[in-house]
Every structure is written in C-alpha cells, then in structure tokens.
Amino acid sequence: MAAVKRLVIVLATACLVLAGCTYAKEEPGLFQSKAAQSPTMEKPLPPTPTNPQLPVAAEGEWTTAEGLHITTRFAVHAVRRLQLATVVDWSVTPLRAPDYAFGDDLPSWADLGLSRSSEGDVNMFLIDSNGDKIYRTLSHQSRRLFNRCLCTPLWLAQQNLRIGETRLLQATFPPLPDGLAFIDVALINLAPFVHIPVTPIGQVPTALQPTDLARPPGAARPSLGERAFRNGQARDRAQSITIDRAVAAPGRTSLEWTIRSITDQSTFILQPALSPIGGLLPDGTDVLNRDVVSGPQIKPAGAPTAKASRVSWLTTAVARRKAYECLCSSLGLWAGSLRKQGGQASVTSNYPALPAGTQKIDVILPGVATIPDIPVVQAEDSAVGLGPPKPYAAETWTYVSNDPPRGWTTAEWPSSLPDPKQLESYRFVIEELTQLPGW
C-alpha cells in the first residue's frame, strides 16, 4: 500500500513538471499575452477639452530637446496672493510629437527643460523689473529632502504627459510687497511673461473668452539670421545659432535663439558650452552653473560706438559663498539631442533694457560673427488677457514625500492652495538682479 502511495506521488510530481499535464482549461497561465488577459480591454478615453472658464494670462510654445521633439504649450493662469506666500498657477499641454497621436501617453523620460540643478526643483522665477528683485520658489530647509520646492514636482508631471491633455501645476514663492500689483513670470527657456496681475487674497482671475489650450500650435516663426561655427578645440564638430526673436520689456531685453548640431558633439554635457554659446567668466567669480548660454551679446543696430550688453545674472550662493546664477537657459540632460547630428535646443538669454526707441539690435557671437538688424518686438501685456477677479473658496494640499501633489485637470480650477502650516519648513529667498563683477 505504501508503495502504491509513493507511485501516485511520483506520477503527480512528474505531471506538474512535464508540459503535457495541465489544470482545468479555465485556469490562467503565468505568461499569457495582454490580449489573452484582457480580450475586452478598453482604450483610454480621449483627453478632456480645456475648461473654457480657465483664465490664461500668458502662454508660449516650446519644443523639447531630449529627442522626442514634443511641441508643448506652457501657460500661466494666475499669480495668487496668500497671507504668507504667493502661488503661481501654470500648465503644460503637449500638442504633438513625431510618432504619437492625439491622446497617446508620452514616455516617462520626456523632459520639459525646467528642472533645476540645485534646490527648488523647477527653473521658474518671479521678476520685479522695477525693483530688480528676483523671487525664487520656496525650497525645503532639509537637505535630506533635497531642498525640494513647495510645488507640484516637475519630475512627477513629466512622467504622466499625454498628447492633447492639459495638466495644471503650481509653484509657491515668497510673499510679494503689498503695493506690487503686477509681476513678470520667467520659465527659463522662454522670454518672461510680462505684467501679470497679482490677485488679492481669496480671489482668482476670470477668463475673457473660452479657453482651448489643446488647439494646434501656431505657425513657426521665421528665422531672423543663422551662423554656423566650429568648436575651437575640436574643429571636426560644427554647430549653428539661429536667432528666433528679440523681445523688449520694462527693465529687460530677451533673446530667444536655437542651437543646432551640424555634426555629432560627443563631449556635450561633459564640459561647459564654449563660446559663442557659453562665455568666458571673470576669474575668481563663483557661479552656480557654468554650462549656460551666456555667450551672445547685443547692442542697438547702427550704433558702432555703443557698448554691447552681456547677459544678466542674479545673486545666489554656492557652499554658503556669494555666487551668481545666469538669467538664461542652462544646458543639461534636457538638451541631450544636441549630442547628435541634427539635434537642436531652443534657449533664452536675458539682458538689461535697451535704450528707449531701439527697433533693431545686432547680436554679437564672440569669435564667430555678428548677426545684424534683428527686429525688436514689444512684450505682450499679460494683464489684458484676464477678466476681473472673483472670490473663491479654496481647499488646501500638503506636500507628502511618498505621495506628492500630482497637479489638476482644468475642470478642477480653481486649484487647491498649499496649506500654510507647511511654510515654516521652507526657505524664502529673494535675489538681486545684477551683472557679473569684472565684466
């Protein structure tokens, strides 16, 4: 009898090992295809249209440079005054990308080019052009928490992008002076948005007309001048600079331009950009990041004796020492396509104001050439795009490290506000707009 039992056990074990023995037909296997697992799997719903009542103070289009070439619409919706802080409501809407259709999810490695290399997470500033003040995003005082900002994290937003879908985001800044009714908002790869109203506590702006942020992108701007050049230390590597737009605003001039790689750039990201993209810095001057687009200079056209203007900088600190940060784009992983032939990246450099009445500028590319007679356009007044503010009752959110705020749909406008109880854990930083000493 014992022998029979042993024989049954052996046969059962063999049955499990050999492919010929199975459980019942309805028992699922471990490695079924997705189709077998979910024969009736539903396709995701198309993106919801923009809430037509969502206010838009300013917007701009920009194409990513990590290799996905995502044409993206950034928008600023409100600058809201709080009791002890200031909140900027903004959004990102991917409009199109090669090989992706409306409603498609984008890869998690999509890069909006706004990540900061130091504390604060997001490369966004508030600029008071009248007082030469720069307001940084609030950053957590704990280095253990990576000095993260009090915001919807950019790294999280970038993992959940979808063609045609708008995601509302938020960043918190120090409180603005009571008498400051308007502020400029800088997303560092675009010319700053100018003259955005600061709404009173407990109010939000309204829309003047129905909003559609997922509409097709506008027509491409014509090139205003292009110059090719070769790297002085590696003559086999060639790039070009194209001027896209020069924008005059109170207290500032912005130059939007595009870098293209004509050949492979194998050392890109391993060393700072050389002239004319970058620039030589004064000896003994600490800067936050040397890989910045600080090379081009500008001056009024037809004024041979006029002194050329260099990019503007703002005060900061490196290892508790006084240092400077360029008010311009910094290159990095977001511009990874520049490593290869055909890659390109759109960047912005900001300068002091031009003399009143300047209609054209010359753009000087040191060691390469001067691109003459670039027309200057006036920055759009963001205030004219908003309706009168209205009262609202806001809920609050708290930044939890294992479940940070993920943003909102446009239907959830007005967005919640950060719980003020968190503010005591964050650092408030206001910087000065300046020039590098020794220039």
pLDDT in tens, 366-414: 999 999 999 999 999 999 999 999 999 889 999 998 889 999 999 999 9
Question: Phi, psi (5° rounding) for residue 219?
Answer: -65, 145
pLDDT at 319 over 80: no
Cis peptide, bond prior to residue 276, ω within 30 of zero: yes
pLDDT of 12 above 60: no
* Separation of alpha carbons 91 and 165, rounded Å: 10
- Tell me how far apart the terminal alpha carbons of the chain are, to the nearest angstrom: 99
Percent of the chain scoring above 90 in pLDDT:
73
My answer on whether omega of the bond before 414 falls inside 30° of 0, hence cis, is: yes
* pLDDT 10s digits, 273-286: 889 999 888 888 89
Quote the CA–CA distance of 313 and 288 in Å, as a whole number.
11
Per-residue confidence (pLDDT) for residue 8, from 0 to 100 = 41
- Residue 28: pLDDT band (50, 70, 90) is very low
Looking at the chain, the whole-number percentage of residues with pLDDT higher than 70 is 87
For the chain, give the number of residues: 439
Note whether 90 and 190 are within 8 A (CB). no
Beta strand segments in 232-286, E: 234-249, 252-261
Is the Cα torsion angle 109, 115, 119, 121 positive or negative in sign?
Answer: negative
What integer pLDDT is reported at residue 41 of this predicted model?
A: 56
pLDDT for 268 beyond 90: no
Of the candidates 56, 329, 4, 357, which has an alpha carbon nearest to the alpha carbon of residue 204?
A: 56
* Residues facing residue 128 across a β-bridge: 133
Instruction: Tell me which of 145 and 16 has the higher pLDDT.
Output: 145
Q: What average pLDDT is seen over the chain?
A: 88
Number of Cβ within 10 Å of residue 185's Cβ equals 25
Dihedral angle sign, alpha carbons of residues 158, 163, 168, 173: positive
5 pLDDT above the threshold of 60: no
Stretch 91-111: mean pLDDT: 97
b/e per residue, 8-19, with b = 16+ CB within 10 A?
eeeeeeeeeeee
Q: What is the pLDDT of residue 233?
A: 65
Report the predicted TM-score, pTM, of the whole model to 2 decimal places. 0.88
Q: Of residues 419 and 33, which shows the higher confidence score?
A: 419
**Residue of 377, 136, 367 lying closest to 256 (CA atoms):** 377
How confident is the model over 123-174, as pLDDT tens digits?
999 999 887 899 999 999 987 777 789 999 999 999 999 999 999 999 999 9
Q: Could you tell me the sign of the dihedral formed by the alpha carbons of 62, 187, 131, 256, in that order? A: negative
Kindly report, residue by residue over 233-245, the tens digit of the pLDDT.
Answer: 666 789 999 999 9
Q: What pLDDT is recorded for position 302?
A: 87
Which of 8-17, 118-127, 212-221, 294-303 has the weakest average pLDDT? 8-17
pLDDT over threshold 50, residue 20 = no
- CA trace torsion 398, 122, 131, 424 (10° rounding): 30
**Euclidean distance between CA atoms 72 and 13, whole angstroms:** 59
| Tokens matching residue 436 | 């590098």
pLDDT of residue 97: 98
CA torsion 124-129-133-136 (nearest 10°) is -10
Whether pLDDT at 61 is above 60: yes
pLDDT at 423 over 60: yes
Q: How far apart are CA 90 and CA 72, in angstroms?
A: 13
Q: Phi and psi (nearest 5°) for 38?
A: -135, 75
